[in-house]
Structures are given as C-alpha cells and as structure tokens.
Chains A and B, each alone.
Chain A
Amino acid sequence: MKLSREQCFYIILAGLAGALIVFAPLPVRVAPPSQRTFRVEASQFAYSPAVLTVNAGDTVTIELVSTDVVHGLYVDGYGASVTADPGQTVSLTFIANEPGSFRFRCNVTCGALHPFMIGKLQVGTNTLLWRAVGLALLAAFSGVALFPRPATVKAV
C-alpha cells in the first residue's frame, strides 16, 4: 500500500498525539495520604461494598468478614491477600501506592461462581482509563483521516 504525503503527515501526527496521550502527565488531584479502613463482607459470590475508592498513598486496611463459607481476598497488582473463615474478621493492610483500578478477588474456592467473585479497588484517578479513552477517540478520528475516503461518497 503506497501512502500519500497527506497520509504520512496524518500517521506522524497520530503517532505524536498517541505518545502524548500515553505519556503526558495528567492533572490529577493529589490528596495527602491517610489511613483508610473498610469493613468488607464476603458472601457467595460478592463483596460488599464491592468498590473501594482510596487516594494514592493511603494506607488501606480491609477488615474482611465472611458471612457464609471460607472466602479470601487477593488484590491484583499489589499481590496482597487474606483468608477469612465464616464469622471471623481478618485484616489486610497495605499502602496503595500504585494509582489505577485494580480487581480484588476471592482466592479460596468458595463455590460455583468462585472464579468470578470480584471487587474493585480504585486508587486515585483511573488515569489509565482516561488515557485509553483518549486513545480510542484518537483511533476513531485518525482512522477517518488516515484511510482514504471513498471518492464516490460525498463529503459531510
């Protein structure tokens, strides 16, 4: 496929815009680190609350209570985990120094839907999501500009 000069220009422009979206620092609100404690109830096959939101740098303590069978809680990206017997409360403490969105999931087989017993830990602003949204918008717009528009289709 031979590229026209205009297409080459758009490819370079899209590449630069993509690099900007991926690497440019985003204006995120930084709050001073604090101690956050959550009481999380685990029952087949959900956590309550299922979404935990903290600031980057917070020291997070999760008090896990299992209300039926043995459940666990493993935080993706942090590798921290804990297991709770029924009726027992156990604590898991870690410093949420990695911003982003992380799944936490049960790490003890607890029944049929065990592999899908999932919660979400939101640390600071989910910049990766916003960067991904930016890349998707760029992909759509640059796609329109990059690929030759059919001559037979009238311009909008």
Chain B
Amino acid sequence: MRSELTRFSVVKSLLKNRWPQLFGFIVMLAGFLYAIMTGFIGTPVGNNNFSTVFVWIAWWAILILVAVPFFGRGWCAVCPIPLPGEWIQRGAILEPPSRKPRRLNLRWPNKLRNIWLQNLTFTLVALFSTVILTTPKVTAVVLAAMLFLAVGMSIVFERRTFCRYLCPVSGFIGLYAQTAPVELRVKDKQVCITCKGKPCYNGSAAGYGCPWDVFPGGLTKNTYCGLCMECLRTCPNDNIAINLRPFAADLGQPSRKLDEAFKAFIMLGAAMVYAGVLLGPWGELKSAAYSVGTVAWFGYVMAFLAFIFGLLPALFWLAVKLGQVLSKSNVPARHVFAAFATALVPLGLMFWVAFSLSFVLTNASYIFIAFSDPFGWGWNLFGTAALTWQPYLTTALVPLQTLVLVGGLLWSVRTAQKVGREVKIQPVPVIVFSMLVTLVMLGLLL
C-alpha cells in the first residue's frame, strides 16, 4: 500500500530543483555556525545560551518527535554538517562542474563499511552527554569537531563518508528511519538493471552520484538513503519515486547485521539510562555523570557500558535462545539475535519519544528566552528575554508518556511476530523481554 508523491509534478520539480534545498541548507548552516559562535563566546549558563538551548531542546525536539518518526532521514536531507566538505569535494555548490576537481576520493576501507564506528561515536558522545548537554562551550566544541571532521573526510574520502560511517546522529536516524511513512525507492528494478552507466550511482551532468554510496536500484529499506534527491535528478528513466507508505514498512525484513542490532541496544539502553539519570530524583547519579574524570564518573561509565553492551544484549540473547529451543530451530543464533533486534527499533524510538517529551516540555520555555538573548548578555531582540521559565503540559505529560510507551510495546510485539515468521522462531520470549524493559521505563518516567 503505497502512494507515490512524485507523481505530482509540483512535488517532483520542487524536489529536483536545487534552489529550495540550497536555501534550507544555508539557513541550517547559518544556524549551526551561530550555535557554535554563541557556545564559544556566550554565557556559560547552559539554559541561557542559544547553543545548548537550540541544539538540545529545539533541534532535538524537532528531530526525535517529528523529523525521524515522520520523515525518516528527512533531517539528513538538510543537515548542514557535510555541506562545506561536500562543496570542496565537488568543487561546486549547485550543479556538477564541467571539470571534476582533483581530489583523493579514496574509498572507505571495506572492513569499516558498517555502523560499528557510528555505534562507537554515539557511545562516546553519550558518555559525556551530561556535560555536552549543559555546557555551551562543550556543545560548541562537539559541533565544530563534527564540522571539521566532515570537511576533512570529504577531502580525503569519496562521497559522504562522514555521514555514512562516522556521524553519531546519522546511525540512529538510519535505524529509526525504517519506521517512517516516507521512502525513496525505484519504480521498476528491471529498468535499473538494464540502465547503462548507472548515473544514479556514478553521477552525470544532471547531478552527482549517490553521496550515500547507495545504488538506488538495490534499496529495500530506509537505513542508508539520505533523501538527498540526487538520484531523482540523475535518473534518465524517471524511475525514482518518493512514496508515502505505512509506518514501519521496512521492519518486515529483519536485519541480519550485528552492528545494526547493537545500535538498537545502544539506543534502547541510553534512553533508559537518561530517563534514570537526568529525569530521576537521584542527585548522586547526576553528579557522577557530570563529574568527568572522577572515580564516580568512571563508575558511571562502567555501569553505562555494562548495561548497554552486557546486560541488555545478554538478557535478549537468553530470550532468543529460549525461542530457538521452543521452536527446535537450527538457524544460527547470531542471525536470529540480529533479526529479533529489529523488534527493538519501534520500542527504542518510543522510549526516546517518551523521554524527550518530558525533557522538552519542561524546558521549552528557555527557547523563547534564548531566542531574544542568544549570548545571555542581557539582550532582548524579540521581546521574549524577560519571560520566566514555565513547564508546559505537565498534567498531560504522564498520560502521554504512558500512551507512547504502551504503543511502542504493541508495535514491538507486532514486529517480533513478523520477525518470528521470517526466521521461523517463537517470538514470545522476545516479547516478554520487550515488556520487561517497558515496565522498567514506565517505572523510571512515571
């Protein structure tokens, strides 16, 4: 059940035209550089600085509550981080230049063509997140580091290597993009097979080869398609479509990759840890997470890593193993483990939505204050600097979180059932696992 959006000529020409996208890019890049600047030279008070408030409250709210669930990698389509590097790599801002610039354009090593590095970079950011979230200078350092790393990688490697293999945000957006009701797919695979030159992958005068190193003809899920629209521009056969589809359509084809499975564990576990540490009443935990370099912080790091890479996967593995025993299955446990981890994708997304609702609704009023006084220097640009802090919808928050978490569990149950059908293994133990972690999350948030 799909509805092609690109059949409407207005939509198609809007997506093919480079100017609207460039406008979006430039607005985002300006905001991004502004966030770096305010972080470096503005007030060190996190909730009064544009950098921390806009990145971790406004941007995060839009990303996790709207962009990822409804548009998948829609954010990646306008993300400013790879832009400067890409412009240098291409030697152009809009259409491909007549003469290709001389760049190294190295291929990313085969052994690293997975998301293990993204798992690592996300975990690193997560371990320091209490400091990053609350300290404008550290936020600015992280944003600037991402920008420089992306530029450096674009100069050395081909395409968007940073986005595809290193960006800590891209990894989880890709994972959760599978649930989005939007997809880019080819209309007829046969056309791609017979297409000469494969301009969607290799580029042509009409556009660049896929910056995400994906051959659109082989796309079966949203994980690695950055929705940059280059293939829509380069396809000589009008064979690329943007479709509306049911939510979570990709989850019917479970992953067999351990790196993707562990991404699901990292995200699920991190949401639970944050719910306890940041939103719980335990001051010692918050201090431990914040006091980087102290014994308490190392204790927090060990507990964080043990929970995400040890306890959660171990319990899940036991559930999978039990399912195998019940079904008398000989399918390799590694495959089944990775396949069933797909059931944690909707659950993890809903955990993040529930966590973020609380965090964002409580702190959203800082957005208006920081908008008028971005540096915390006493400005009042739009007349909102004098507003006082006020949490929003506190009475609706808990019922809303309950609905989100229970809905996530139901979604996870449905996904586990589908995966069970695919791998021919009883999904009930995995469903019990999902239920138990949901109960823990309910206990932490309610």
Contacts and interface: CB of A to CB of B under 8 A. Distances in A.
Interface of A: 45-48, 50-51, 74, 76-77, 100-103, 105, 107, 109, 112-120, 126, 128-129, 131-133, 135-137, 139-140, 142-144, 147-150, 152-154, 156
B47 A109 contact: yes
Given A143-B413, A154-B326, A132 B283 contact: no
Interface of B: 45-48, 130-131, 134-135, 278-284, 286-287, 290, 326-328, 359, 362-363, 366, 389, 391, 394-395, 397-399, 402, 405-407, 409-410, 413-414, 417, 420-421, 424-428, 431-432, 434-435, 438-439, 442-443, 446
B283 A50 contact: yes
Contacts of A45: 283, 286-287, 290
B402 A135 contact: yes
A49 B131 CA distance: 25
User: Interface residues of A: mostly helix, strand, loop or mixed?
Assistant: mixed
A107 B389 CA distance: 7
B286 A46 contact: yes
Nearest to A156: B326
Nearest to B138: A112
B140 to A, nearest CB: 15
19 contacts: A50-B283, A74-B391, A105-B391, A112-B45, A112-B135, A113-B286, A114-B46, A116-B130, A126-B446, A128-B398, A132-B442, A135-B402, A139-B410, A140-B434, A144-B428, A148-B417, A149-B417, A153-B425, A156-B426
Contacts of B48: 109
B294 to A, nearest CB: 15
Given A112-B46, A115-B134, A118-B281, A143 B439 contact: no
B434 A50 contact: no
A132 B399 CA distance: 9
Given A76-B391, A113-B134, A139-B406, A132 B446 contact: yes
